Amino acid sequence: MEDKWKDIIGQNKEKFQQEFTLPNGHEDRFMSKLKEQNKQQQKVQINYWKVAAIFIPIAMLATYFFLEFSPTTNETLENDRILAAYSPDLNEAENHFSYIVQQKIEEVKALETPDNRLFIDHSMTSLNELQKDYNRLLIDLKESGGNAQVVRSILQNLQFQVELLENVLTQIESIQNLKTKQNETI
């Protein structure tokens, strides 16, 4: 429809100009303003749906590949093989401590509230440092060829992880009990 009107006006331009007299340069000024307006509209037109449609799948794929091919998972499997190579008892002890640590982590996360979130985050940072030390000890064990002192250090590190999580749980429960008592007295 728009093209038909454009054609009609274009064919009858001289008739319109004879009927309606316009000031000199009016058409040029109008066309320049129209061009400026079209440029501004072209700059502003960003289709956010298209950007989101591209960005979301890319983010999902990146997350999938990061989680699927994370080097920490491969390191853990390799470390399990290191312990099993030196002693089945050591491997069993490590599995036992790892299971306890995982249970305690789940308990801590279940007790997380906005009030104790900072304390839990700090505790998890400490736990991550112990885990890094544990991984370094495993490398030392591999390099030392099964040194008994390194084996004791590995077991001690695992005990520290369990103790840290038990202390965190005890402190969280103490804080909750204290708040409950304060609320009861109020």
pLDDT tens for 14-43 read 887 777 777 778 778 888 888 888 776 655
pLDDT band of 185, cuts 50, 70, 90: low
Most confident of 9-18, 28-37, 93-102, 164-173: 164-173
Say what the pLDDT of residue 162 is: 92
pLDDT band of 91, cuts 50, 70, 90: confident
User: CA 62, CA 68: separation in Å to the nearest integer?
Assistant: 10
| Whether pLDDT at 160 is above 90 | yes
User: CA 140, CA 71: separation in Å to the nearest integer?
Assistant: 19
Taking the CB of residue 176, how many other CB atoms lie within 10 A of it?
A: 14
Say what the pLDDT of residue 73 is: 45
Say what the pLDDT of residue 166 is: 93
User: CA 180, CA 175: separation in Å to the nearest integer?
Assistant: 9
Task: For residue 146, give the nearest of 186, 63, 106, 88 by alpha carbon.
Answer: 88
Angle at 37 between CA 33 and CA 40, to 5 degrees: 140
Task: For residue 137, give the nearest of 162, 118, 154 by alpha carbon.
Answer: 154
pLDDT tens by residue, 30-88: 888 888 887 766 555 567 788 888 888 898 888 888 777 765 544 554 555 666 677 77
pLDDT tens by residue, 131-152: 999 989 888 888 888 788 888 8
CA torsion, ordered 34, 3, 27, 18, to nearest 10 deg: -160
| Whether pLDDT at 119 is above 90 | no
DSSP string for residues in the chain: -HHHHHHHHHHTHHHHHHHS---TTHHHHHHHHHHHHHHHHHHH---HHHHHHHHHHHHHHHHHHHHHT-HHHHHHHHHHHHHHHH-HHHHHHHHHHHHHHHHHHHHHHHT--TTTHHHHHHHHHHHHHHHHHHHHHHHHHHHHTS-HHHHHHHHHHHHHHHHHHHHHHHHHHHHHHHHHHHHHH-
Which residue type is seen at 46? I
